[in-house]
Chain A
Amino acid sequence: MSGRVLVGVKRVIDYAVKIRVKPDHSGVVTDGVKHSMNPFCEIAVEEAVKLKEKKLMKEVVVVSCGPQQSQETIRTALAMGADRGIHVEVSGKDYETLGPLQVSKILAALAKKEDAQLIILGKQAIDDDCNQTGQMTAALLDWPQGTFASEVSLEKDGIKVVREIDGGLETIKISTPAVLTADLRLNTPRYATLPNIMKAKKKKIANVKPADLGVDLTSRLEVLRVDEPPQRQAGMKVETVDDLVSKLKDAGKV
């Protein structure tokens, strides 16, 4: 039992930034735009660091797949308390088509390589909203999954996970090793303070290529076009019910 947790973090456009579709409709503008760690990934890192602080896990390894700038995201996780980082270099066209399938293959390969007991991910990324990586990773590894976790407790015979589901809360018990994905109420992430950022500069970030892990990045998806959502049409105010009915009749709705 190595007691190692693997945490995946993704660098995404900051949630408060107004995104803009590229003039050629191939995607959104990312050049120079403010990026930060996916909020659910922050929660995942916080949970992993908490487990280490409670001495339930020995080491937290944080992984990010992306271009050079992903290293900044890894550094933030290191400043929050992760022990070391792995930067899987993916850039250019490969990065544009990188999706949950490829990332889960990478994470599965790393989990085996690093002998991880636990993988914690954010439930979804706020740019693509896929909500697939955690589930796919578990399937590839044939591990149980505790997704949408709002409470996690490590017990002698497994992990108790309280999951946020449509109907309310569901409590399950899964065996280890396992994959967990973090939902909003799991915890409140700590700040990456300056002294920790400075200390994080001394922590190691290993550089790995997907090919080294035997992962093929070819995508089975092709983005045809990206458009802004249609402009919301102004509504109309009516004074009486008769008015409402006549307007609906005029519009051919009744």
Chain B
Amino acid sequence: MTKVTCIRALTAVQAERGAPQLYTAVTRRTCSSVTAPRITTHYTIRPRDKDPRWEGVEMERFADQADVVIVGGGPAGLSAAIRLKQLANEHQKELRVCLVEKAPQMGAHTLSGACLEPSALTELFPDWKERGAPLNTPVTEDVFNIFTKNHRIPVPILPGLPMQNHGNYLVRLGNFVRWLGEQAEELGVELYPGYAAAEVLFHEDGSVKGVATNDVGIAKDGSPKDVFERGMELHAKVTLFGEGCHGHLAKQLYKQFNLRENCEPQTYAIGLKELWMIDEKKWKPGRTEHSVGWPLDRHTYGGSFLYHLNEGEPLVALGFVVGLDYTNPYLSPFREFQRWKHHPFVAATLEGGQRIAYGARALNEGGFQSIPKLTFPGGLLIGCSPGFMNVPKIKGTHTAMKSGILAAEAIFPKVTAEEADSETAGLHVPEYAESLKSSWVWKELHSVRNIRPSFHNPLGLYGGMIYTGIFYWILRGKEPWTLKHRGLDAHQLKPAKECTPIEYPKPDGKISFDLLSSVALSGTNHEGDQPPHLTLKDDSVPVARNLAVYDGPEQRFCPAGVYEYVPVETGDGMRLQINAQNCVHCKTCDIKDPSQNINWVVPEGGGGPAYNGM
């Protein structure tokens, strides 16, 4: 690859609207603005082909060919990779499987409760115990409560209810993913953590050709640095997209191939989580606690989990989930989480303990109604990306893994066939969707399809629980109708003037904490001198609409303090400041922005949280 010389002298860049802005080498980092400040400098919004700073820069990419490329090293991607190699070894066929993952090491961007149903794992590795899979905590006690401000109403978990956890394991999913990564490497999968898939590549006939990894060495103002290098192209017969909830490449693919024309829009929740070392006397390994109710009102979907892990030390994993269809723009999921911890039942466990980790991630709630078309020429979608989470069970790992396994089994005969039997250059494998439809994943998701939407009734949470009791517990989800969701989460916010600000208590520094010290615990970091990866389609919308109408909800729903409205340096008014370095890659902003103006794209690979067994 050729080296690049970058133009370091004074450079003037003309803004598209408003006054011209000067970017010098000195002021590059501290953008002084005149009128509408330019926030977004990423090349996906400001193309480089017309940009004079990029003239003469070598843009050719090194390309390599694999049989299968997998985007995303989570449970789905790794299960698919493992299954492919297992089949290849069984049939004594050569198969090059490359997996790219934006996290610097496997598991570093993984965050989940988690209570794992081992069904899919047992299919993948019947001998998972001997192989040392980190499933160390069988569930011993299952507790479900409706919280009020100071008390709780226990709800019996009768056998047959989706929340029943007998036979399941409490896991640190990040450690589980790391273990899956080791298994995959042993089988010969080429794992490339620290490299993000930034672009989908297409053949002439429109089918997917593969992906390109992120470019490196672009400065914050969008110009090339001395160390600029193009990403690499990975070409494959078929590409599996397992980016997890609300993947950014999947977002493009939905549009490109019209994959969402016959399904409902996906709906989401945000999950925030902490790990605590607690007083040994309070530690009850295997105990699983869930709650609904306080501090959320009955019309805001959400709840909590608290799991006592059994890995040799008194560690508990706890967290709070808030449905992103909430209507009050003053709601802050982070602060709801912090104040929930003060409930007497929870505080009792945490008193005298020490918080050692924090993180957040969006999760799917759309279930059955929101599953898009899963295959397209050259590729397919697996895992939480299309979204197979069983919402009332709050489990999606087992279905994600199964989708990865089924994908591998469907594509294996096609990628190892002597003659490529396909109309398009990139293989189309509709068999994957068919086998998924006849699997237990489909049956399971179908049976719980109405529980989440049943929440939208005048009794809110209680109506939902009554519906679940009657139609799921008694009738097993066999009712002939399918309830609809309310629509895009982003459209559910009411204007700020119609809502009441919420008075959140100040964090006490022992049980509840402030946002910035929490973000520090996630270990998140990004190379500072790169274009912010939270891109805005229109830089003027945040102040003109989000702040004006909704009082800037992104200041509150971002669990990492990325978005701040600060006063402008000269004169009146506010501007949006994007602290991209804090981002924990949760994707909530892309989901909940009422103007749908924020487009999350992948930053330089290796950046993001440094979760350890979350």
- Indicate whether A and B interact: yes
Q: Which residues of A contact B (CB under 8 A)?
A: 14-18, 20, 23, 31-34, 36, 188-191, 193-195, 197-198
CB contacts (< 8 Å) of A190 on chain B: these are 227, 229
On whether A34 and B232 interact (CB within 8 A), knowing A14-B610, A191-B217, A195-B64, the answer reads no
Q: Bound complex: CA of A188 vs CA of B217, how far in Å?
A: 11
Q: Bound complex: CA of A36 vs CA of B523, how far in Å?
A: 13
Q: Check if A34 sits within 8 Å of B216, measured CB to CB.
A: no
Q: Bound complex: CA of A33 vs CA of B104, how far in Å?
A: 11
CB contacts (< 8 Å) of B313 on chain A: these are 23
B609 closest partner in A (C-beta): A34
On whether A16 and B525 interact (CB within 8 A), knowing A34-B610, A194-B192, the answer reads yes
CB contacts (< 8 Å) of A194 on chain B: these are 100, 192, 195, 213, 231-232
The residue among A17, A20, A193, A198 with the most chain B CB atoms within 10 A of its own CB is A193
B160-203 interface (Cβ within 8 A of A): 174-175, 178, 192, 195
Q: Bound complex: CA of A14 vs CA of B229, how far in Å?
A: 23
Q: Check if B195 sits within 8 Å of A32, measured CB to CB.
A: no
The residue among B1, B175, B217, B229 with the most chain A CB atoms within 10 A of its own CB is B229
List 30 A–B pairs whose Cβ atoms lie within 8 Å, in order of A's numbering. A14-B523, A14-B525, A16-B610, A17-B610, A20-B356, A23-B313, A31-B612, A32-B613, A33-B610, A34-B105, A34-B108, A34-B523, A34-B610, A34-B612, A36-B104, A188-B225, A188-B227, A189-B227, A190-B227, A191-B216, A191-B227, A191-B229, A194-B100, A194-B195, A194-B213, A194-B231, A195-B1, A195-B62, A197-B195, A198-B64
Given contacts A32-B175, A34-B610, A194-B232, 4 further A-B pairs with CB under 8 A are A16-B525, A36-B104, A194-B213, A195-B1
Q: Does B543 contact A (CB under 8 A)?
A: no
CB contacts (< 8 Å) of B226 on chain A: these are 188
Partner of B229, one of A23, A33, A36, A193: A193
CB contacts (< 8 Å) of B62 on chain A: these are 195
Q: Bound complex: CA of A31 vs CA of B175, how far in Å?
A: 11
**B572: shortest Cβ distance to chain A, in Å?**
29
Q: Bound complex: CA of A33 vs CA of B357, how far in Å?
A: 12
**Interface secondary structure of A, over-half rule:** loop
Partner of A18, one of B1, B108, B175, B521: B521
A34 closest partner in B (C-beta): B610
Q: Bound complex: CA of A31 vs CA of B62, how far in Å?
A: 36
Q: Check if A193 sits within 8 Å of B216, measured CB to CB.
A: yes
A72 closest partner in B (C-beta): B105
B216 closest partner in A (C-beta): A191
Q: Bound complex: CA of A187 vs CA of B469, how far in Å?
A: 66
Q: Bound complex: CA of A189 vs CA of B174, how far in Å?
A: 30
CB contacts (< 8 Å) of A16 on chain B: these are 523-525, 610
Q: Does B520 contact A (CB under 8 A)?
A: yes
Q: Does B277 contact A (CB under 8 A)?
A: yes
B58-101 interface (Cβ within 8 A of A): 62, 64, 100
Q: Check if B231 sits within 8 Å of A18, measured CB to CB.
A: no
Q: Bound complex: CA of A33 vs CA of B231, how far in Å?
A: 27
**Interface secondary structure of B, over-half rule:** mixed
**A127: shortest Cβ distance to chain B, in Å?**
15
Q: Bound complex: CA of A18 vs CA of B275, how far in Å?
A: 14
B486-523 interface (Cβ within 8 A of A): 520-521, 523
The residue among A15, A17, A31, A197 with the most chain B CB atoms within 10 A of its own CB is A17
**A151: shortest Cβ distance to chain B, in Å?**
16
B214-233 interface (Cβ within 8 A of A): 216-217, 225-227, 229, 231-232
The residue among A17, A18, A31, A194 with the most chain B CB atoms within 10 A of its own CB is A194
The residue among B64, B232, B520 with the most chain A CB atoms within 10 A of its own CB is B232
Q: Check if A17 sits within 8 Å of B192, measured CB to CB.
A: no
Q: Bound complex: CA of A190 vs CA of B226, how far in Å?
A: 9
Q: Check if A195 sits within 8 Å of B232, measured CB to CB.
A: yes
**B248: shortest Cβ distance to chain A, in Å?**
19
Q: Bound complex: CA of A34 vs CA of B523, how far in Å?
A: 9
Q: Bound complex: CA of A17 vs CA of B174, how far in Å?
A: 16
CB contacts (< 8 Å) of B523 on chain A: these are 14, 16-18, 34
Q: Bound complex: CA of A174 vs CA of B8, how far in Å?
A: 33
Q: Bound complex: CA of A189 vs CA of B227, how far in Å?
A: 8
On whether A32 and B612 interact (CB within 8 A), knowing A16-B523, A194-B213, A195-B1, the answer reads yes
CB contacts (< 8 Å) of A20 on chain B: these are 356
**A185: shortest Cβ distance to chain B, in Å?**
14
CB contacts (< 8 Å) of B174 on chain A: these are 32
The residue among A36, A188, A191 with the most chain B CB atoms within 10 A of its own CB is A191
Partner of A32, one of B178, B216, B277: B178
Q: Bound complex: CA of A17 vs CA of B534, how far in Å?
A: 22
The residue among A16, A33, A197 with the most chain B CB atoms within 10 A of its own CB is A16
A193 closest partner in B (C-beta): B229
B300-337 interface (Cβ within 8 A of A): 313
Q: Check if B104 sits within 8 Å of A34, measured CB to CB.
A: yes
Q: Bound complex: CA of A41 vs CA of B174, how far in Å?
A: 29
On whether A18 and B277 interact (CB within 8 A), knowing A34-B105, A193-B229, the answer reads no
A36 closest partner in B (C-beta): B104
Mark B220-257 against chain A: 1 for CB-CB distance below 8 A, else 0. Answer: 00000111010110000000000000000000000000
Q: Bound complex: CA of A32 vs CA of B176, how far in Å?
A: 12
**A5: shortest Cβ distance to chain B, in Å?**
20
Q: Check if B232 sits within 8 Å of A193, measured CB to CB.
A: yes
**A67: shortest Cβ distance to chain B, in Å?**
15
A46 closest partner in B (C-beta): B227
A16 closest partner in B (C-beta): B525
Q: Bound complex: CA of A190 vs CA of B232, how far in Å?
A: 16
CB contacts (< 8 Å) of B195 on chain A: these are 194, 197
The residue among A23, A34, A189 with the most chain B CB atoms within 10 A of its own CB is A34
Q: Bound complex: CA of A232 vs CA of B610, how far in Å?
A: 25
Mark B593-612 against chain A: 1 for CB-CB distance below 8 A, else 0. Answer: 00000000000000000101
**A193: shortest Cβ distance to chain B, in Å?**
5
CB contacts (< 8 Å) of B64 on chain A: these are 195, 198
